[in-house]
Chain A
């Protein structure tokens, strides 16, 4: 029984950290869906967002005042990216755009470091990273409040984004742009506005992801590496699917923790560094478009 509850504990912990991966991956999907750009810089944006948020709070602003400022900053970053990086590179190949966003990663990370320094900071959201007492009493399992909170926030974001995509006029515009830029432009959908909106939304998603991560493990540069975990999540889920990245995030989070706990000791640990990637590669060999991705059809 103790074994079983330990298993559940690891599983739940993994699932909940998977939700965090999903949140980062969600930013990727948004941008990819609307503009066909694979935004490698999403991880750096997560870092930049939360560093700025904490930095602004340190300047003396209270939580609720710092939040809109940080959001505004991320919107600005998104708009600047759209204006100075993507617009000049429009209609270039996907590989070129990927390399440009790798460059962007360097710029954002460097800028974050210049603006806010390299110290590890704490972020207190008012939710403790402590086990919930009554769950512990009843079942003996340690499940953190923060993880539960992260799960709830992620669910709210996904549902609202799904609603945005499917129910609103803006969402319809987004889907039209994703299908065909030129056609969307020719029927009067304001392409620039849509792109800016998407980048801004991605910035906000990055901020939320960063705040949850930061509250758990401190606001520091290691967040970039955590964000790299979002890549295999994306591959497994499929680039264009919001539910896909959620399922894939859970899958990656749970399996990496389980593998680490049960098989890691055989190799001296650290398996979770590469396991998601190898899983993604194996997955690609079987189903290249991911779980819920669109099938890629190539013509000569």
Chain B
């Protein structure tokens, strides 16, 4: 009853090709966006800077990883490396190019990450699956190592960390968590809509053809070279922008070793738990992985009081993450997004079951 498309007719091409053809979806999206824009007025600084901002940023990175893994079917374990490229590129653009607008710097750092992504995507033309996963680990280790070893990237900081500059857009300084949140939100919304459009257009169909059977796709006249590298480039672009925001709107001070393989795994988990090959799943997965440790922490403290060791909690967290991954792969390989889809189908028939 709540989710019925009956009676909604599409009478023009414009209507037929809109992003959200259902009235309920459009309404839902508007409400979500309104809440997202207005939430800083209700949330305190902790919520904004420790949960909402990283959630949006990690969603963006998960989206990038999802484009590569979920849509184009290329297994990658190096997303944190591309985030690092984005973060350090943005720092250097603002440092070295006088009066560069912040948004331009972010986009340029995304492009830097995309170029690095293309280089490390080259092996995908010859290898696939497990082999490719190991090849992407090379990018992870190499990028972090070179950012660490070549002082130029860090402006020869003796401590080996960079401090992100102020976010200045059109002469206005974005200092408070609330303002930063809006900047991040704007960028994420634009890029998410862009991803949605790419995924449902010819670009996305190309990716999915490669994912499902790349030899067949090639026989049908799709250029594997172009499609695969495009997926790597766009995915790394998202990771790069995510990395830049991670440094500028979330962490402030960053060192290369913040972008470990562990972060890459977490991003991978976000994609699996959220749902491979869905835009919404990236957001759900990021939220889930981010909130899980916080939830466990609260749970432990409420059960055992303050006496629990931090290392015990982190170990439990690890076990829970691992178990969740295995359970999702076994019972719901399509992730949280699939659960939402099932809910929608229920709502269509509600209150009747059939």
Decide if B293 is an interface residue (CB 8 Å cutoff).
Answer: no
Decide if B134 is an interface residue (CB 8 Å cutoff).
Answer: yes
Contact of A273 among B133, B141, B219, B312 (CB under 8 A): B141
A281 touches B138 (CB 8 A): yes
B268 touches A102 (CB 8 A): yes
Q: How far is the CA of A132 from the CA of B316 in the complex (A)?
A: 44
From residue 20 to 45 of chain A, which have CB atoms closer than 8 A to chain B? 38
Decide if B311 is an interface residue (CB 8 Å cutoff).
Answer: yes
Decide if B123 is an interface residue (CB 8 Å cutoff).
Answer: yes
A274 touches B149 (CB 8 A): no
Q: How far is the CA of A128 from the CA of B322 in the complex (A)?
A: 38
Decide if A134 is an interface residue (CB 8 Å cutoff).
Answer: no
Decide if A104 is an interface residue (CB 8 Å cutoff).
Answer: yes
Q: How far is the CA of A274 from the CA of B272 in the complex (A)?
A: 27
Which residues of B sit under 8 angstroms from A271, Cβ to Cβ?
Answer: 145
Indicate with 1 or 0, residue by residue over A97-110, a CB within 8 angstroms of chain B CB atoms.
01110111111111
Which residues of B sit under 8 angstroms from A117, Cβ to Cβ?
Answer: 311
A288 touches B131 (CB 8 A): yes
From residue 201 to 250 of chain A, which have CB atoms closer than 8 A to chain B? 228, 231-232, 234-235, 239
Q: How far is the CA of A270 from the CA of B256 in the complex (A)?
A: 14
Name which of A87-95, A136-144, A153-161 contacts chain B.
A87-95
B145 touches A273 (CB 8 A): yes
Contact of B268 among A85, A92, A99, A278 (CB under 8 A): A99
A106 touches B321 (CB 8 A): yes
Contact of B326 among A104, A109, A110, A285 (CB under 8 A): A104
A103 touches B134 (CB 8 A): no
A interface SS class: helix
**Total of A-B residue pairs, C-beta within 8 Å:** 127
Contact of B325 among A102, A111, A273 (CB under 8 A): A102
Q: How far is the CA of A284 from the CA of B315 in the complex (A)?
A: 36
A102 touches B130 (CB 8 A): no
Contact of A288 among B126, B320, B322 (CB under 8 A): B126
Decide if B216 is an interface residue (CB 8 Å cutoff).
Answer: yes
Closest residue of chain B to A234 (Cβ to Cβ) is B134
The minimal Cβ–Cβ distance linking A96 to chain B, given in whole angstroms, is: 6
What is the total number of residues of chain B having a CB less than 8 Å from a CB of chain A? 46
The minimal Cβ–Cβ distance linking A40 to chain B, given in whole angstroms, is: 9
Which residues of B sit under 8 angstroms from A113, Cβ to Cβ?
Answer: 311, 314-315, 318
Which residues of B sit under 8 angstroms from A102, Cβ to Cβ?
Answer: 265, 268, 325
Decide if A64 is an interface residue (CB 8 Å cutoff).
Answer: no
Decide if B135 is an interface residue (CB 8 Å cutoff).
Answer: yes
The minimal Cβ–Cβ distance linking A199 to chain B, given in whole angstroms, is: 15
Contact of A99 among B219, B312, B329 (CB under 8 A): B329
Decide if B350 is an interface residue (CB 8 Å cutoff).
Answer: no
Closest residue of chain A to B265 (Cβ to Cβ) is A102
Decide if A2 is an interface residue (CB 8 Å cutoff).
Answer: no
Decide if B319 is an interface residue (CB 8 Å cutoff).
Answer: yes
Q: How far is the CA of A181 from the CA of B123 in the complex (A)?
A: 31
Decide if A187 is an interface residue (CB 8 Å cutoff).
Answer: no
Contact of A267 among B141, B149, B269, B329 (CB under 8 A): B149
Which of B145, B268, B317, B323 has the most C-beta atoms of chain A within 10 angstroms of its own C-beta? B145
Residue ranges of A at the interface with B (Cβ–Cβ < 8 Å): 38, 84-85, 88-89, 92, 94-96, 98-100, 102-111, 113-114, 117-118, 228, 231-232, 234-235, 239, 267-271, 273-274, 277-278, 280-281, 284-285, 288, 298, 300
Can you list 23 A-B contacts (CB < 8 A)? A89-B329, A95-B75, A100-B330, A103-B322, A103-B324, A103-B326, A106-B322, A110-B316, A110-B321, A114-B312, A228-B137, A231-B137, A271-B145, A277-B134, A277-B137, A277-B142, A280-B134, A280-B138, A281-B135, A284-B123, A284-B126, A288-B127, A300-B215
